[in-house]
Structure 1
């Protein structure tokens, strides 16, 4: 029998296949073939962060502890928060998703309230870059290109950039990159155990899984 607990709150989550938490977001599944118990949390929240325990009711009990860190993915547009572009010129906006734990399903660009990803406008082009970034290019800039540009990825906080269209050669640098660390602490697993910990985006799925082979070894805490 395997028990899942949120140890830092002394909250019993599951015993075997039975969920004891009042939260409907929790579920547990068991694969006999793979000898794996999985605790799933839907609609992940910041309050879900903390210390979790997976305990096997042997004598003495064997437990595995690990820490779940919940992060909030957010879009970042290089430069800004505003740029100045001359009429007839061009500008490029680079948007990257930071702290994402999974690839966004989409990255939409908006000019004011209008999505421009598929807008049939000459001189405007949206290009995906890798798995979590996108580039918006506008050439032959006109007065109506001024306004707020928003990069809005799936399951991430959007980012804004204001573009001012001016006459002459006034420019603002559009390529001052911003860097953020997306490193996350790696959980430690005891010998003979495989620990899978996926701290997911707000609103997506968090999977905590413990797998063992040839018996459940004890884990020192």
Structure 2
């Protein structure tokens, strides 16, 4: 009986200890949950990053604020431009006369977005997302407005021998996203790669630096003229192609007219007149 009593007391003690641990764990879990839900407003940096925008193409600066509505009085989120310390938006309202700026916020969303239409180079700089909590919170986002650069390699003039291949390479740099398309024009008309002329092809590679290569086989004098590379998100680039038919490039650059000195006959006549008056 003594052994049985000791066993029962040990079992009761073990059960009591397990129950206490479970209760303590539940209490700690509850404290952790309460702590996470009562934490004040804070920024989600992963959703509030610096922005690179194309010149003239709408830019969106996003600021994600978590736990903003956990207080009795919800703080306001504002956008301030650092260049001139100008208040742009407060909440869902815009406080600037520049109609390019607009506050965007959907109900129950954690995202507070500043929209900038037709951004210019002067719009580049630091923008501050503010939360009117205690203490005051700020998150800084840098906007960079860039203009892609387009170049046709070897321009602005190219001289090609008749019967050879015209090889034009268009390069698009400094673009935050690849161009959706790159068109080629010849004398203001879009080049057709399936025309009856034949021998015309194009290959395009898109990336941080995009390239489009136009090949025209067996060049003819009629292939001379202005060629233009037209990316969808950048200014066009131009090159003038001269298909030579036995001419020298120097003569082409002077419009085919070389300046000649006085003829021998003219020099002889001038000499005769001068001698006659001596």
> Scaled by the length of structure 2, what TM-score is found?
0.57
For the aligned residue pairs, the C-alpha RMSD in angstroms reads 2.2
Which structure 2 residues correspond to residues 63-212 of structure 1 after superposition, within 5 A?
63-118=138-193, 120=195, 121-131=197-207, 132-167=210-245
| Structure 1 spans left out of the alignment, 5+ residues | 172-221
Judged with a 3 Å threshold, the aligned counterparts in structure 2 of structure 1 residues 64 and 136 are, in CA distance, closer, same or farther, namely same
**Would the aligned equivalents of 1:126 and 1:134 in 2 still touch at CA under 8 Å?**
yes
Which structure has the greater CA radius of gyration? 2
Partner residue in 2 for 1:177: none
Q: CA deviation at 1:99?
A: 1.0
More helix by share: 2
Q: CA deviation at 1:117?
A: 4.6
Q: Find the residue that maps to 1:149 and give its secondary structure.
A: strand
What's the CA shift string for 1:49-83, capped at 9, x where partnerless? 12211111111211112332211112111122222
Distance 1:53 1:65 in 2: 5
Partner residue in 2 for 1:5: 80
Partner residue in 2 for 1:17: 92
Q: CA deviation at 1:169?
A: 10
Number of aligned positions between the proteins: 171
| Structure 2 spans left out of the alignment, 5+ residues | 1-75, 250-278
Q: Find the residue that maps to 1:47 and give its secondary structure.
A: helix
Judged with a 3 Å threshold, the aligned counterparts in structure 2 of structure 1 residues 170 and 123 are, in CA distance, closer, same or farther, namely farther
Distance 1:90 1:84 in 2: 11
Query: Comparing both chains, which one has the higher relative contact order based on Cα–Cα distances under 8 Å and sequence gaps of 6 or more?
Result: 1
Q: CA deviation at 1:14?
A: 0.6
Distance 1:169 1:88 in 2: 14
- Please say if 1:41 is aligned against 2:119: no
Judged with a 3 Å threshold, the aligned counterparts in structure 2 of structure 1 residues 47 and 92 are, in CA distance, closer, same or farther, namely same
4+ runs of 1 displaced by more than 4 Å?
A: 31-34, 168-171
